[in-house]
Amino acid sequence: MAAVTSLSFSAITQLSERKISLLSSTRSLLSNLDAFRVRTNFSIDSVSARASNSNLSSLAPPVSETKLKFLTAYKRPIPSIYNTVLQELIVQQHLMRYKTTYSYDAVFALGFVTVYDQLMEGYPSDDDRETIFQAYIKALNEDPQLYRTDAQKLEDWARTQSSGTLVDFSSREGEIEGILKDIAERAGGKGSFSYSRFFAVGLFRLLELSNATETTILEKLCAALNIDKRSVDRDLDVYRNLLSKLVQAKELLKEFVAREKKKQEERSEPQKANEAVMK
């Protein structure tokens, strides 16, 4: 006689509560991600859409093309908690990438790499994580190796800096100093510069690696780079909140998957026992 397995009411209730908690945490994460998006309003109304799109290059491909390139380059399924955020990010970065004022810089790259690596921390496969990164950046018609190389250069440089030398880049010579001087000139109105939240995260990472803990250092660095500190402060607050929600969502997902795996094993044990008896 086949064994009958059942779930207790309390177990079902607990599972339901965990699913709701995970869903709530994920929604909260996406809400914070929505706040992290580039400050560009896209309306369904065609007139508003045309006005918003005036910020984009006339050569910009549609967002759907960028997303399709990403999905074509990486065809394996991505767990939903990662995929949902990645799809949001690639739309946002498409809008940044094809703005008429956009010009790639290493601080922006450092910011994106930082966000991506923290988002994908704990991903089941290290190889897949890097393959997804490659597909993502290539979908934007940019060079993933350049992103990684520039981010690493900035990180290595920042680790050798102090609070004083970090903000005093304009008086010194060097590859990274030259990059920061170029950003300062462009942000000061002498070239194309488009501030973004990835740029703010890049600045935060420089401060973090140089152990610049004084509250005035960010203000001095923003002034040296001709960046509005109020925008940076606001965006870093959103970024920190996003990370907090991401950690919560990942932890809930990890617990949920572990419980489901255990329950599946428990349900399969009676079946295996019956099969053994039948033999």
| Chain segment 184-230, per-residue pLDDT in tens | 999 998 778 889 999 999 999 999 999 987 879 999 999 999 999 99
Residue 20 CA, distance from chain mean position: 24
Range of lowest pLDDT (37-46, 67-76, 81-90, 255-264): 37-46
Given a cut of 70, whether residue 7 has pLDDT beyond it is no
Q: What is the mean pLDDT of residues 145-162?
A: 96
Rounded Cα–Cα distance for residues 42 and 170 (Å): 38
pLDDT of residue 267: 80
pLDDT of residue 34: 58
pLDDT of residue 154: 97
Q: Which of 34-38, 88-92, 147-151, 214-218 has the highest mean pLDDT?
A: 147-151
Rounded Cα–Cα distance for residues 123 and 138 (Å): 20
pTM of the entire structure? 0.75
What confidence category does residue 42 fall into, taking pLDDT thresholds of 50, 70 and 90?
very low
Q: What is the mean pLDDT of the chain?
A: 80
Kindly report the number of other CB atoms within 10 A of residue 223's CB atom: 13
How far apart, in Å, do the first and last CA atoms of the chain sit?
14
Given a cut of 80, whether residue 104 has pLDDT beyond it is yes
Cβ contacts of residue 278 below 8 Å, gap of 6+? none
